[in-house]
């Protein structure tokens, strides 16, 4: 098991492998159709489809060992979200897309997401051949955009009015960070 901790945070933020005792927490947050996180993480997908996808994902988690490309965000011993990464094709091209989700709104706006994303960037650069990292969101998710920018990500793509949320059109936004631009996690 790998664990990465940033020591200067007000709350200790750690990325770690998923444990069996995390499954009830993950199941509760992921499969709740009314969970607040759904308003911010790809809310342009239909809620019913998201619920079915999350139920399938939770069943998958229960039957598979931890994956190094997915880690739990642990705050002071509590599972509050997850990070993930996937290599964009073709394999070996050095492009990795990162995802982050803080399920529990009690941890929003406190810097937990920025710290977790910074740890995930560092872990990805330490364990992969990544040359460029990306995060993708929508223009209504200003917290995600701010967190990525704080870490040095820059907007590289904006597809105008590509997403519809609550009857309003928003842009799809992608930000990128080159390995050579990363200044590292501050201790």
Grouping H, G, I as helix, E, B as strand and the rest as coil, residue 126 is helix
Grouping H, G, I as helix, E, B as strand and the rest as coil, residue 15 is strand
Taking only the tens place, the pLDDT of each residue in 97-147 is: 999 999 989 999 999 999 999 999 999 999 999 999 999 999 999 999 999
Asked whether residue 41 carries a pLDDT value surpassing 70, the answer given is yes
Asked whether residue 6 carries a pLDDT value surpassing 80, the answer given is no
Contacts of 123 (CB under 8 A, 6+ apart): 2, 4, 15, 71
Q: Which structural domains are found in the chain, ordered by start?
A: 4-181 (3.40.630.30)
Torsion angle of alpha carbons 14, 16, 18, 21, nearest 10°? -50
């Amino acid at each position: 098991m790998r664990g990465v901790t940033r020591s200067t945070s007000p709350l200790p933020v750690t990325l770690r492998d998923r444990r069996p005792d995390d499954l009830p927490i993950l199941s509760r947050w992921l499969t709740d159709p009314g969970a607040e996180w759904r308003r911010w993480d790809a809310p342009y997908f239909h809620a019913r489809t998201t619920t079915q996808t999350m139920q399938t994902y939770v069943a998958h988690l229960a039957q598979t060992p931890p994956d190094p490309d997915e880690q739990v965000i642990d705050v002071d011993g509590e599972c509050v979200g997850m990070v993930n990464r996937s290599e964009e094709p073709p394999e070996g091209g050095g492009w990795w897309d990162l995802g982050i989700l803080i399920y529990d709104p009690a941890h929003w706006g406190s810097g937990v997401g920025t710290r977790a994303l910074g740890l995930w960037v560092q872990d990805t650069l330490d364990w992969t051949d990544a040359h460029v990292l990306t995060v993708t969101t929508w223009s209504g998710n200003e917290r995600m955009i701010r967190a990525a920018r704080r870490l040095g990500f820059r907007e590289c793509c904006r597809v105008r009015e590509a997403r519809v949320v609550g009857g309003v059109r928003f842009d799809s936004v992608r930000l990128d960070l080159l390995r050579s631009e990363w200044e590292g996690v501050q201790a």
